Structures are given as C-alpha cells and as structure tokens.
C-alpha cells in the first residue's frame, strides 16, 4: 500500500533528482499536491490505488468554485503528473487522472481602442520633428493595414517606394508561416510615409555606420526593433491621454474591430489580417457584439429594468 502522502513524497523526489526540475517548479508541485492530499484524506482514501476518476473530477470541481481557472488548470497538471508517476512506478494499476481535462479557459476578447482614441493616438507625435514624423508613419501604417508589429519592422525601403508611386497598389506583408498578403494603405498612411521618407528618414540614415535598407530606422540608423515600436506606442498613448494598457497590437485589434463595426465582411477582414482560419477572426465579432450590448444597456430606456 502507498498512501497519497507517500506517493507525493516519491514524486517530488523524482521531479527534483531524476528529472532535475527547478526548485520553483518542485515547490509549485508541492503546494498543489498538498491540497490534493488533504482532499483525499478528508474522503478517507489511504491508498493511492483507491483513487478513481470520480475523486479527481470532484477535486477539480471544488477548486473551480473558489480558485481562478488558471490555478485549477495548474493544479490538475500537478495531479495528472502525480498519478502518471504512481502508475509507472507500480503504486497504482490505473491512472485515474489521465482522461480528466482542465476547465475551459474563458475567451479573452482583444482590447480595441475607440475611433476617437485612435485619432488622438495618431495625432500625438510631433510632425515638426524627425522622430515624430517617423513615429507618426509607424502608427499610421499599423492602423491602416492591421499589420503585426513584427511585419512592419521587417519592411525594407524597397517594399514601400513602389507602392507610394502607385495610388492603387497595395503593400505586401509577410506574415506567420511566410504567408504573403497584400493590404491597401489609405491616404493618411501614404501621406505619413511620404513625409517620413522625404523629411525624416535621411536624417536617421546619416547616423548609420553601415547602410541599412530597413524602412523604419532608430536613432543609430539601424532597423527599428519591436521593443522600440512598443515604446513609441506607450509615449504616444501617454500624450493622447489614453490610460488603458496599449501595445502596437492594440492597433491591429482596433483595425479589425472598426472594419467589422463599419460593415466589412468577415472573410475580407480575415484576408487583411492574414488569419489562416476564419475562426480566429470571429473573435472580433464578439467584440462588436459586446460593444452593441454596452451601447444598448446605456442608451435604451428599458434596457436596465428601471
């Protein structure tokens, strides 16, 4: 007979010595399994062999009532690892946790800025300054195309010069899995890019020790990094008086949400975002539905039961 407490001790020793897991990981296992052992002992289970899927499911259900879903999911991982180990070591003839799934994580709706917030954000950079011209072009491009920040930072000068000469041409972006898509630019982004290329980029390029063909350059004349793009976004948000957490990806979310709110077809938005599946794009329809609910709740005289 192996008690649940003894099984846990053996498992933790195995995790630390044989698997070489970190002290923090072992400590996390210990915390989760301490609760699990207490749960089993309260039910009079003195042998790990006696544990069935019913007890594991009940442990998960009870945890779901008082803990965050992420915490319950982590605890279940610990329990599943324990029982897999006990089964492998012969402490138990079955693995009662093998088929138990963690609680489904709630869908997190992407954070989109309002149209007014985007307008204030795009107006924030000082366009009388070379840095401001660059920042304005970057932000306008992100919002106009819905591009990922990495896609924009990877753009070279040659990727846009031809596009700016042809008002009907779209910008080619290389997305995940090297999947290429073409997106329209729009007047505001074109004007901002043209101003940056004519009035600002040469000043950045002069500071480079070697020629860099990147579209967006930093103060050393080298390719702008995603981290720098994030910092540009933070500064613009602060100047625009936006207090909610934002990132360059916020403009991608806003791009999609505003298109759908304006009546764009879901399949078109999918192509513009470069999503391989329309199911990924559908999360933005949840955003717009939630916005409609909020407007209805606030504006309709009988929406709140008052």
Q: Which residues are catalytic?
A: 148, 176, 249, 252, 275, 284
Are 143 and 187 spatial neighbours (Cβ–Cβ below 8 Å)?
A: no
Among residues 76, 96, 89, the alpha carbon closest in space to that of 13 is found at 89
Place of tokens 């916020």: 250
Task: Give the list of residues 6+ apart from residue 286 with CB closer than 8 angstroms, or none.
Answer: 107, 109
- Helices (runs of H) and strands (runs of E) counted in the chain: 15, 2
Provide the 10 A C-beta neighbour count for residue 10: 17
What's the half-sphere exposure (Cβ side, CA atoms, 13 Å) at 157?
A: 13
Among residues 163, 161, 165, 139, the alpha carbon closest in space to that of 152 is found at 139
Radius of gyration in angstroms for the set of CA atoms belonging to the chain, rounded to a whole number: 27
Among residues 151, 140, 271, the alpha carbon closest in space to that of 214 is found at 151
Q: Report the alpha-carbon distance of residue 264 to residue 284 in Å, rounded.
A: 12
Are 37 and 108 spatial neighbours (Cβ–Cβ below 8 Å)?
A: no
Q: Report the alpha-carbon distance of residue 219 to residue 206 in Å, rounded.
A: 10
Structure tokens belonging to residue 251: 């403009």
């Amino acid at each position: 007979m192996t008690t649940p407490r003894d099984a846990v001790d053996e498992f933790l020793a195995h995790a630390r010595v044989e698997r070489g897991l970190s002290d923090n990981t072992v400590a996390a296992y210990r915390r989760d399994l301490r609760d699990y052992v207490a749960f089993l002992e309260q039910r009079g289970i003195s042998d790990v062999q006696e544990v069935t899927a019913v007890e594991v499911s009940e442990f998960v259900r009870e945890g779901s009532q008082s803990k965050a879903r992420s915490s319950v999911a982590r605890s279940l991982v610990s329990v599943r690892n324990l029982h897999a180990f006990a089964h492998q070591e012969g402490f138990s003839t079955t693995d009662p946790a093998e088929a138990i799934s963690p609680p489904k994580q709630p869908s997190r709706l992407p954070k989109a800025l309002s149209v007014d917030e985007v307008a204030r954000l795009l107006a924030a950079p000082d366009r009388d300054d070379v840095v401001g011209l660059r920042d304005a072009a970057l932000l306008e491009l992100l919002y106009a195309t819905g591009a990922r920040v990495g896609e924009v930072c990877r753009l070279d000068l040659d990727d846009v010069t031809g596009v700016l000469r042809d008002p009907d041409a779209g910008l080619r972006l290389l997305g995940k899995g090297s999947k290429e898509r073409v997106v329209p630019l729009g007047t505001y982004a074109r004007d901002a890019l043209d101003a940056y290329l004519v009035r600002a980029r040469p000043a950045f390029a002069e500071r480079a020790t070697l020629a860099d063909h990147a579209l967006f350059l930093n103060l050393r004349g080298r390719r702008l990094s995603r981290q720098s793009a994030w910092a540009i976004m933070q500064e613009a948000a602060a100047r625009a008086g936006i207090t909610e957490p934002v990132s360059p990806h916020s403009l991608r979310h806003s791009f999609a949400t505003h298109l759908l709110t304006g009546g764009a077809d879901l399949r078109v938005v999918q192509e513009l975002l470069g999503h391989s599946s329309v199911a990924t794009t559908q999360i933005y329809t949840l955003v717009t539905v939630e916005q409609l609910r909020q407007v209805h709740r606030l504006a309709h005289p009988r929406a709140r039961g008052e």
